């Protein structure tokens, strides 16, 4: 048990708290894909949310047309004030295309659509649906700092399962890359990013005023981009991170189209856009070697920590991942972030109208 503060306010799980929080003034956005249909983890999440009883639950759903009706019917079995947005419905896609907002899609685009539907409440909470250990206290914990005057809060947790350390993309890529970027500069945005104990966690809460200003990454990298915008709007004083305990998530392979290697490219691009937005010009030629040096030092630390706790640790495998991730360090390319809702050329009500028509047609 520890209670050390970081550069952002850090709220610790010292007494297994369920703080009083304004859940009745919050929308909870839970993105899903068709693989979540009737699964044990999403069932737990939705059942726990029934006990939270937030003002609204928004499910941005990405699914094939022949799966949408059954998925929607399953979701409506839960006693929730529910809104479902079929993110790849034909009318919605035409609407977005008409406003030059279609194109690449992924989790970030889905969350952006969900946030648009959540802006009629005072607070917005976003979290994943694949958390096997999800607890209803998570929503209250994320909202508590906002009820006390903060604008942004982010969850953090331990990723220890099956006798080994997980959270590999964060441990082996994001952390050493941020350290490598800060090797010869003292930039406030880098100090901010480094202060979060699990910067790639998908769980966060924000005031509506902040949420409507998020320029969302279309795919992976959503979490890093969110931190960049939170730094700009809330800064150190308006941000907090909240201990959510130990999380059990689905695990991804390193290779493959949705593996950690592919994700690392999106995370790197999002990170570089954040730092460029705040006046840092990365040296992309020198950065890979700086990253490797920082990552190898951390591998030694993780190995020692694993041994101390009696956990298995594959040093060679983790060093191989470092080499794989190093290939993702390159200029980010064109900026395809979605616009902040406060500046978007389409309204949330227009999105809702198109999404409702898509769902009606699919059923």
CATH number at residue 42: 3.90.550.10
The pLDDT score that the predictor gives to residue 259 is 65
Q: Is 143 inside a domain boundary?
A: yes
Whole-number Å distance between alpha carbons of 288 and 70? 47
Q: What pLDDT is recorded for position 287? A: 96
Q: What is the pLDDT of residue 104?
A: 75
What is the reported pLDDT for 185? 78
Residue 249 has a pLDDT of: 61
In Å, what is the CA distance from 174 to each residue of 126, 145, 272, 299?
21, 25, 11, 13
**pLDDT tens digits for 191-237?**
999 999 999 999 999 999 999 999 999 888 999 999 999 999 999 99
Residue 39 burial by CB count (10 A; 0-12/13-18/19+): exposed, middle or buried? middle
Residue 68 included in any domain: yes
C-beta of residue 168 within 8 angstroms of C-beta of residue 260: yes
Q: Please tell me the predicted confidence (pLDDT) of residue 1.
A: 66
Is residue 3 in a domain?
no
> Does a structural domain hold residue 288?
yes
- Whole-prediction pTM value? 0.94
Q: What's the pLDDT score for residue 208?
A: 98
Query: Which residues of the chain register pLDDT less than 50?
Result: 256
The answer to whether residue 4 sits within a structural domain is no
Asked whether residue 100 is assigned to any structural domain, the reply reads: yes
Q: Which domain holds residue 36?
A: 9-362
The count of domains in the chain is: 1
Q: What is the pLDDT of residue 183?
A: 79
Q: Smallest Cα–Cα separation from 200: which of 172, 165, 161?
A: 172
Is 88 contained in some domain? yes
Residue 187: inside a domain: yes
């Amino acid at each position: 048990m520890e209670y050390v503060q970081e550069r952002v306010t850090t709220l610790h799980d010292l007494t297994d708290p369920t703080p009083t929080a304004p859940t009745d003034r919050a929308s909870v956005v839970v993105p899903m894909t068709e693989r979540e249909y009737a699964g044990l983890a999403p069932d737990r999440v939705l059942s726990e949310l029934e006990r939270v009883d937030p003002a609204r639950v928004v499910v941005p759903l990405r699914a094939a047309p022949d799966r949408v009706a059954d998925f929607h019917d399953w979701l409506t079995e839960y006693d929730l004030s529910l809104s479902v947005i079929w993110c790849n419905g034909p009318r919605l896609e035409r609407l977005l295309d008409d406003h030059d907002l279609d194109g690449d899609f992924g989790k970030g685009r889905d969350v952006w659509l969900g946030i648009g539907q959540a802006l009629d409440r005072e607070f917005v909470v976003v979290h994943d649906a694949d958390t096997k250990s999800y607890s209803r206290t998570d929503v209250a914990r994320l909202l508590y700092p906002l009820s006390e005057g903060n604008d942004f809060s982010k969850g953090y947790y331990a990723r220890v399962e099956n006798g080994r350390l997980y959270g590999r993309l964060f441990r082996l890529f994001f952390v050493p890359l941020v350290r490598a970027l800060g090797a010869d500069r003292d930039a406030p945005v880098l100090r901010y990013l480094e202060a979060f104990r699990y910067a790639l966690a998908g769980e966060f809460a924000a005031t509506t005023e902040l949420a409507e200003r998020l320029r969302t990454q279309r795919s992976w990298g959503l979490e890093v981009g969110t931190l960049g915008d939170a730094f700009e709007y809330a800064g150190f004083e308006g941000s907090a991170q909240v201990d959510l305990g130990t999380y059990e998530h689905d695990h991804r392979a390193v290779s493959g189209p949705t593996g950690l290697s592919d994700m690392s490219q999106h995370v790197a691009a999002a990170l570089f856009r954040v730092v460029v937005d705040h006046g840092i010009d990365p040296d992309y030629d020198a950065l890979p070697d700086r990253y490797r040096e920082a990552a190898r030092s951390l591998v030694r630390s993780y190995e020692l920590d694993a041994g101390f706790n009696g956990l298995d640790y594959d040093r060679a495998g983790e060093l191989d991942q470092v080499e794989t991730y190093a290939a993702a360090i390159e200029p980010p390319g064109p900026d395809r972030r979605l616009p902040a809702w406060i500046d978007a050329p389409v309204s949330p009500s227009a999105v809702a109208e198109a999404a409702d028509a898509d769902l009606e047609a699919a059923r």
